[in-house]
Amino acid sequence: MVRVVMSEPRRGEVSDLHRHLPRHNRVQVVGYAYDGVEAVQMALSLRPQVLLVEESLAGLSGHEVCRLVSRTVPEVACALVSERTDAAALRAAMTSGARAVLSANDDIRQTVNILQQLAALASGASSAESQRLTDLTRMPVTLAVVAGKEGLGATTLCCVLAAGLARERLGETVLVDWHLQMSEAPSVLGLRPKHGLADIAVYGEQMDAEAVNACLLQHDSGLYVLPGMVSPERTWLDRLARGSAAQLLGILRRRFRFLVCDLPTVLGPGELYACRHAQEVLLVGGLSDASAVRSTATLADLLRGHGVSGEQMRLLVSRVGRGNPFSVEELATLSHLPVAAQIPEDPGLPKAAQAGEAAAGGARAGPAMSAAQALVADLLARHAASRPAPTAAASGGAESGAAREGR
C-alpha cells in the first residue's frame, strides 16, 4: 500500500483524484495539506512515500514545494498535479524536483500505477544495496595486482592478500583471475573449478550476473573466486575487451566490497581498463636481477601512459633478501613509486602454494605471510572510506596496441 499526502488548494473542492484516490485499496492517504508550507511540513513529519502537490498552492507554489522536499527529504517522491501536461510544463516540473506530472482528472487506475512506481523508487533508495553503494565506508574497492615479469610470485601474493581481506570482510571479497590462458590461482587456493571467466568472456558486453555468479567458487577463508581458464580446450580468448571488462567489474562491484584482480603480465584493453578504474594498483617487483627491476619501471611507465595516476600505484616488492643485487630503494627510485610492502624471501610460501595451501595457513607463521598480513591491515585502513579512482575518466592514452612487448 502506498502512503500518500495530498494537497487540497481550495478547501471542499472535489476532483476525480480527491474523490477516488482515498478509497482505493492500494493507497493510504495519511494527510491533507491546504497550502504549500503545510505540504512541506507534512512531508517532513509524516514521511509519506509520495507527496501529491497541486501546482497552484497558497504560500508556496507546487514547484517550490517540490524543490524544497526533493532537497530536504529525497526519499519522498513528489508528483505535481497540474492542468498542463505539455513539454514545457514537464520540463518545469522535472527541474523543480518532481518525479511525475499528473492531471486531477486522469484515470484513477493509471494514477495508482504511477504512485506505485514512485513508491518503488523511494523504497529502492533504502535497500541494502543502495545503502552500501552510497556509504563511503562500504563502497566497492577494486585492487589490481600485476607484475612486470613472470616468476615473481604475483599470483600467490594476490591469493594471500585476497584471502586475508576475506577473513576480515567475510563474504565481501572476490578474487578475479584474469588469466585466460595459464591460470594458477585455483591451484594456489586448492580449488577445482568447473567453469571460469574464459567460458563467459565470449559473451562480451552481454555478460550478466547470472553467468558470473554461476562461475564463482568459495574458498575456506570465505573468499569468493572467479577462476580464469579452466580447460585449454574451452579457451577462445586470451584477453578481455574493454567493454567486457567494464561489464564484469560492474556486476561484481554491485555484490562485493573488495575486488582483487590478478592480472597477467601482458595487458590488453580490458586489463588496462581494470587498472585505470582500480582504487589501487599493486605492482609486484623483484630485486633478483636487472631485468626484474627494469620491467617493473617499464610497467609503471606503461600504466602512466594509459591513464593510471601515480596516486593509484604502489610497489609490492617480492622475495626481499640479503642476497638481492638491487635494493628496495633503487627499485622505488627507478619506478618513481612508493612501497606498499616488502615481502621477505620465504621458502615456505612457494611450497604452500604448490600444495594449494598458501591462503589456508600453510605458510601462516612464516615471515612472508606476516608481511602480507600487515599489508592487508594497511589496505583496510587506506580504503576504510573508498573513493572513485583518481583518473577513471581522464585517460588520454589510446587502447590500441596496449599489450606490452619485450617483457
- Candidates 104, 42, 25; CA nearest to 76 is 42
The H-or-E segment that residue 267 falls in is none
Decide if pLDDT at 220 tops 50.
yes
Same domain? 92 vs 237: no
Q: What is the pLDDT confidence band of residue 396, given thresholds at 50, 70 and 90?
A: very low
Q: Which of 53-57, 329-333, 362-366 shows the lowest per-residue confidence on average (mean pLDDT)?
A: 362-366
Decide if pLDDT at 129 tops 80.
no
How large is the average pLDDT for residues 10-29? Answer: 76
Angle, CA 46 vertex, CA 45 and CA 52 arms, to 5°: 115
Residue 398 lies in a domain: no
Cell reading at 403: 599489450
How large is the average pLDDT for residues 266-292? Answer: 95
Based on the structure, what is the number of domains in the chain? 2
Same domain? 198 vs 299: yes
Residue 295 lies in a domain: yes
Give the CATH number for residue 249.
3.40.50.300
- Among residues 109, 126, 143, the one where a domain terminates is 126
How far apart CA 230 and CA 333 sit, in angstroms, is 39
Decide if pLDDT at 246 tops 80.
yes
Residue 310 lies in a domain: yes
pLDDT of residue 136: 64
How large is the average pLDDT for residues 231-249? Answer: 77
CB 314 within 8 A of CB 338: yes
pLDDT of residue 397: 42
Q: What is the pLDDT confidence band of residue 122, given thresholds at 50, 70 and 90?
A: low
How large is the average pLDDT for residues 20-46? Answer: 90
Same domain? 185 vs 322: yes
- Candidates 252, 36, 52; CA nearest to 142 is 252
Q: Which of 24-38, 165-179, 270-284, 392-406 shows the lowest per-residue confidence on average (mean pLDDT)?
A: 392-406
CB 332 within 8 A of CB 179: no
Same domain? 120 vs 212: no
- Among residues 126, 143, 174, the one where a domain terminates is 126
Cell reading at 107: 484515470
Same domain? 296 vs 161: yes
pLDDT digits (tens, 9 = 90+) for 184-215: 899 889 899 999 998 888 888 899 999 999 99
pLDDT of residue 392: 42
Residue 307 lies in a domain: yes
Q: DSSP string covering 268-333, please?
A: -HHHHHHHHT-SEEEEEE--SSHHHHHHHHHHHHHHHHTT--TTTEEEEEEEE-TT-SS-HHHHHH
DSSP strands (E only) in 126-245: 141-147, 173-177, 217-218, 224-226
Angle, CA 38 vertex, CA 32 and CA 43 arms, to 5°: 75
Decide if pLDDT at 358 tops 50.
yes
- The winner for highest mean pLDDT among 37-41, 335-339, 401-405 is 335-339
Decide if pLDDT at 282 tops 70.
yes
Residue 401 lies in a domain: no
How large is the average pLDDT for residues 4-23? Answer: 73
Give the CATH number for residue 59.
3.40.50.2300
Same domain? 141 vs 170: yes
CB 168 within 8 A of CB 380: yes
How far apart CA 163 and CA 355 sit, in angstroms, is 16
The H-or-E segment that residue 370 falls in is helix 367-382
Residue 344 lies in a domain: yes
Same domain? 35 vs 178: no
- The winner for highest mean pLDDT among 1-10, 100-109, 247-256 is 247-256
Mapping DSSP to helix (H, G, I), strand (E, B) and coil, where does residue 344 land?
strand
Same domain? 326 vs 272: yes
Decide if pLDDT at 362 tops 50.
no
- Candidates 263, 274, 216, 259; CA nearest to 399 is 274
Residue 14: domain span: 2-126
Residues above pLDDT 70, as percent of the chain: 83
Same domain? 117 vs 146: no
Cell reading at 162: 585476497
CB 49 within 8 A of CB 2: yes
Decide if pLDDT at 280 tops 70.
yes
CB 174 within 8 A of CB 317: no
pTM comes to: 0.71
Same domain? 122 vs 137: no
pLDDT of residue 359: 62
Residue 97 lies in a domain: yes
Residue 202 lies in a domain: yes
Same domain? 182 vs 137: yes
How far apart CA 81 and CA 89 sit, in angstroms, is 11
pLDDT digits (tens, 9 = 90+) for 61-111: 999 999 999 999 998 999 999 888 788 888 999 999 999 998 877 888 888
H-only helix segments in 126-182: 128-134, 154-168
pLDDT digits (tens, 9 = 90+) for 141-192: 999 999 999 989 999 999 999 999 999 888 899 999 999 887 889 988 989 9
Same domain? 122 vs 235: no
